[in-house]
Amino acid sequence: MSSKLLLLERRDDGIAVLTFNDPDRLNAMTEAMGQAIAAATAELADDADLRAVVLTGAGRAFSAGGDLDMISRMNTAGRADPGGPTRTENRDFMGRFYRLYLSVRELPVPTIAAMNGAAVGAGCCVALGCDFRIAAREARIGLNFNRLGIHPGMAATWTLPRLVGPAHAAELLYTGKLVDGEEAARISLVNRALARDEVLADALATAAAIAECAPGAIRGSKRSLSGTAERSIEAQLDLEAHEQSLNYESADLAEGLNAAREKRPPRFQGH
């Protein structure tokens, strides 16, 4: 599905491109946009032919962050009754709001954030929810929550330390500073920084390289990578052995071995 606020392009090579589509507002993250991305990811998750997903933004920003008007309305309501039911309502709403956008984490295939421009606050968080990130050199990237007077959200305090380490995460979160794409690459916040007009093309080329691999092995690799921070090495070994046992039953493994012996590209069929 596509909506006014989110475009979904399905390509013949099994790659899907999701585009935040509110460029006049720098792709500000509203509840409506979140509902659109959750619906799109639910649709894509059921697609057996899907190989990879690229997430990007229309115009000059990936996403400049949460909808300030929405936050202001909640702040007004919260100040009117800071200890009453409004606090519970705000908490529950934000939990639902986060999960709309972080539905990208539930996709069974690799996801790539093509950060063509500013990725700030919640906009940065949804990029952190992807498997990896490619950014424009001039992009402004960061988590400015504390500068707005609000605690970081959308799993920022969970994803960021795992990517850049606790010290870099603390500095970025406590100061709310923004960094450019090159600095983001230096601290492993993004995989690489490129010229703005190369970002999407590079993300699509990387997605195509993923799509050339055996689909079952790729999906299994994503399952294995998704929980490594919480598993012991023994549990990870058991999981890898299980995933490989599934591949031993596949025609794609036989094709991959034959292609290696014959020194030709494999032709995987997804079974």
pLDDT tens, position by position, 55-101: 999 999 999 998 888 888 888 888 887 777 788 888 999 999 999 99
Domain, as residue range, for 248: 215-262
Q: Does residue 270 fall inside a structural domain?
A: no
Euclidean distance between the first and final Cα of the chain, in Å? 26
* Strands annotated E in the chain: 6-10, 15-20, 52-57, 61-63, 111-115, 118-120, 132-136, 141-142, 178-179, 192-194
- CA gap 19, 54 in Å, rounded: 8
> What is the Cα 68 distance to its own chain's centre?
22
Does one domain contain both 189 and 92? Answer: yes
- CA gap 21, 3 in Å, rounded: 9
Q: Does residue 236 fall inside a structural domain?
A: yes
The pLDDT assigned to 1 comes to 55
Q: Does residue 1 fall inside a structural domain?
A: no
Q: Does residue 267 fall inside a structural domain?
A: no
Of 4, 9, 20, 8, nearest to 115 by C-alpha is: 20
C-alpha distance from residue 270 to each of 205, 215, 218, 253 (Å): 20, 5, 10, 10
Q: Does residue 66 fall inside a structural domain?
A: yes
Q: Does residue 269 fall inside a structural domain?
A: no
Does one domain contain both 227 and 161? Answer: no
- What's the structural domain count of the chain? 2
Does one domain contain both 228 and 115? Answer: no
Does one domain contain both 120 and 254? Answer: no
Q: For the chain, what is the mean pLDDT?
A: 95
Does one domain contain both 199 and 73? Answer: yes
Does one domain contain both 253 and 195? Answer: no
Domain ends where: 211, 227, 247?
211
Does one domain contain both 144 and 254? Answer: no
3-state secondary structure of 61: strand
Does one domain contain both 126 and 257? Answer: no
Q: Does residue 271 fall inside a structural domain?
A: no
Does one domain contain both 173 and 255? Answer: no
Does one domain contain both 187 and 119? Answer: yes
Q: What is the DSSP letter of 17?
A: E
pLDDT tens, position by position, 207-263: 999 999 999 999 999 999 998 888 999 999 999 999 999 999 999 999 999 999 999
Does one domain contain both 81 and 199? Answer: yes
Q: Does residue 194 fall inside a structural domain?
A: yes
Name residue, tokens 């509840």: 31
Does one domain contain both 231 and 188? Answer: no
The pLDDT assigned to 87 comes to 85
Total-model pTM: 0.94
pLDDT tens, position by position, 32-61: 999 999 999 999 999 999 999 999 999 999
Backbone angles phi, psi at 114, to 5 degrees: -95, 95
The CATH number of residue 120's host domain is: 3.90.226.10
The pLDDT assigned to 2 comes to 60
Mean pLDDT of 103-126: 97
Host H or E run for residue 118:
strand 118-120
